[in-house]
Amino acid sequence: MPALTPQQVQQIAHLARLELTEEEKQRYAEQISAVLDYMQILNEVNTDDVAETCQVTGLEDVTREDEVVECDKETRQMLLDAFPEKKGNLLKVKGVFES
């Protein structure tokens, strides 16, 4: 697999909304290329007789049903007071989508 170029790293960084220095672009190009080279080696391993495995610890997720729990007025006010920007009982957060 050909090495990743700093220009390709810049494109990936742009998609991820990351700003990188020229030095970082070069370093990441080398590091990501090394990982991809290693993945190519792993792709050559014959795994035809190997069973699929999701995890090997035997642990399971512990979940519970979501339920609405009312909080008292004092706790609610404390939470509202702790929030940096609000309008009445509404909390103001930064937008995540570009206009």
Domains of the chain in start order, with CATH, are: 6-43 (1.10.20)
Residue in this structure with the two tokens 């729990």, named with its chain if needed: 69
- The confidence score (pLDDT) of residue 56 equals 85
Phi-psi region of 36 (alpha: psi -120 to 50; beta: other; left: phi over 0): alpha
| pLDDT tens-digit readout, 8-67 | 999 999 999 999 999 999 999 999 999 999 999 999 999 999 888 888 888 888 899 999
What is the average pLDDT across 80-85?
A: 90
List, in order, residues 6 or more apart from 1 with CB less than 8 Å away. Answer: 33, 36, 37, 40
- The confidence score (pLDDT) of residue 76 equals 87
Confidence of residue 1 (pLDDT cuts 50, 70, 90): low
Task: Give the largest CA-CA distance in the chain.
Answer: 63
- The confidence score (pLDDT) of residue 98 equals 72
